[in-house]
Amino acid sequence: MNTTPNPSKTSRHAALRWLLVPIIFAAAIAHIPVIRPHLEEAPYMGVLFILLTIACFGIGIAVAVTDHPAAYAAASAVCGAAVIGYAATRLVAFPQLSDDVGNWFEPLGVVSVLTESAVVVLALVVLRRMSGARLAQRA
């Protein structure tokens, strides 16, 4: 049984890891300017933006510090939920947010969706590689 890590796979994993961290931080930062207006207009959404921002920063730190599969799973789940939430508010009139329907190209919204989508993809790729590495170690 060969337990020596493949250097090219390890470096690709590290590259994805260190790419994910600043992108999830960018997703968090993109929400900061809209927290106050949403707290005034639709307080529940402002609170959700605060929670999303904290979660993204925390998950980014967890990925950087631990490189644990749970951190990547959390990154994928949280950012995936944010993308779904963005789409939902553009398709359906939420209470106090009816003006968002059809407004797909709000600049910070676009930044958020792009960064969150990138996090989802990167996290899933890393999780797949981690899963493959565990299976290879068992063989």
Tokens encoding 122 = 């990167």
In-domain check, residue 57: yes
End-to-end CA distance of the chain: 7
pTM of the model: 0.87
The pLDDT tens digits for 62-121 are 999 999 999 999 999 999 999 999 999 999 999 999 999 999 999 999 999 999 999 999
The Cα 66–Cα 137 span in angstroms is: 20
* Of 53, 49, 23, 46, nearest in space to 119 by CA: 23
pLDDT at 26: 98
Query: If you average pLDDT over every residue of the chain, what do you get?
Result: 91
Confidence band of 1 (pLDDT split at 50, 70, 90): very low
Domain coverage including residue 62:
7-138
Q: Which pLDDT score, from 0 to 100, does residue 14 have?
A: 86
Please say if the pLDDT value at position 8 is more than 80: no
Domain count, the chain: 1
* Per-residue pLDDT at 123 exceeds 50: yes
Per-residue pLDDT, 139:
59
How many angstroms separate the Cα of 61 from the Cα of each of 22, 56, 92, 107, 137? 10, 9, 34, 26, 27
Amino acid sitting at position 119 = V
* Within-domain flag for 1: no
Dist CA 23 CA 26 (whole Å): 5
The total number of residues shown for the chain amounts to 139
Instruction: Tell me, yes or no, whether 2 lies in a domain.
Output: no
Cβ atoms 31, 112 nearer than 8 A: yes
**What are the distances in angstroms from CA 136 to CA 4, 6, 7, 71, 139?**
11, 11, 15, 22, 5
Residue in 127, 130, 113 with CA at minimum distance from that of residue 52: 113
